[in-house]
Amino acid sequence: MNGEVRQVLALIDEAYAGKSWHGPTLRGSLKGLTAREASWRPGPGRHSIIEIALHAAYWKYTVRRRLTGAQRGSFPLAGHNWFPPGTASWKETLALLDSEHALLRGTIVQGGLRTLRVRAGKSLRGEKLLRGIAAHDLYHAGQVQLIKRLMRR
């Protein structure tokens, strides 16, 4: 594995799990939550933490699909982007999020960065898409932290 691939893996992993200098990662922000807490909604029309976690899993899948050129429709749950309440249990959601992260990592390791190009005529390079998914994880980690604060006041 070359240095570029290691660097991208470190970037997406640092945003997703483990220790990071900036505070909780996405997976770290979800740690210790109960199903009831994950389902709490901060207000009408606002997303719950479980919905955010499913959304993050879906976009990891979407990035992987775009990098490999795979057909749409292979995500394990029916729907896309934002999923309605009750789509999956909290335990299933966490397992799906972990699985999609592992599958994305595997795609990066197998393909290397030179071969990762977004398919279907898009001009976006794989590296940019991977930086984007890391930023997406961090954005939602902050959102989860805010919802937890609101929930506990």
pTM confidence score: 0.91
**111 has a pLDDT exceeding 90:** no
First-to-last alpha carbon distance for the chain, in angstroms, is 47
CA dist 148 and 153 (Å) reads 9
CA dist 153 and 151 (Å) reads 6
In whole angstroms, what separates CA 130 from the centre of its chain?
Answer: 11
Instruction: Give the number of other CB atoms < 10 A from CB of residue 127.
Output: 16
User: How far from 145 is each of 47, 56, 62, 121, 149, CA to CA, in Å?
Assistant: 13, 15, 24, 37, 6
Which residue did the predictor score with more confidence, 1 or 135? 135
Q: What is the CATH number of domain 3-151?
A: 1.20.120.450
Unique residue bearing structure tokens 């900036």: 22
Residues forming a β-bridge with 3: none
Question: For residue 59, what are its two tokens?
Answer: 């976009």
| Mean pLDDT of all residues belonging to the chain | 89
User: Is 125 in a helix, a strand, or coil?
Assistant: strand
Nearest to 61 by CA among 75, 47, 81: 75
Q: What pLDDT was estimated at residue 112?
A: 60
Which residue did the predictor score with more confidence, 58 or 124? 58
The confidence band for 117, taking pLDDT boundaries of 50, 70 and 90, is low
Please write the tens of the pLDDT for every residue from 41-62. Answer: 999 999 999 999 999 999 999 9
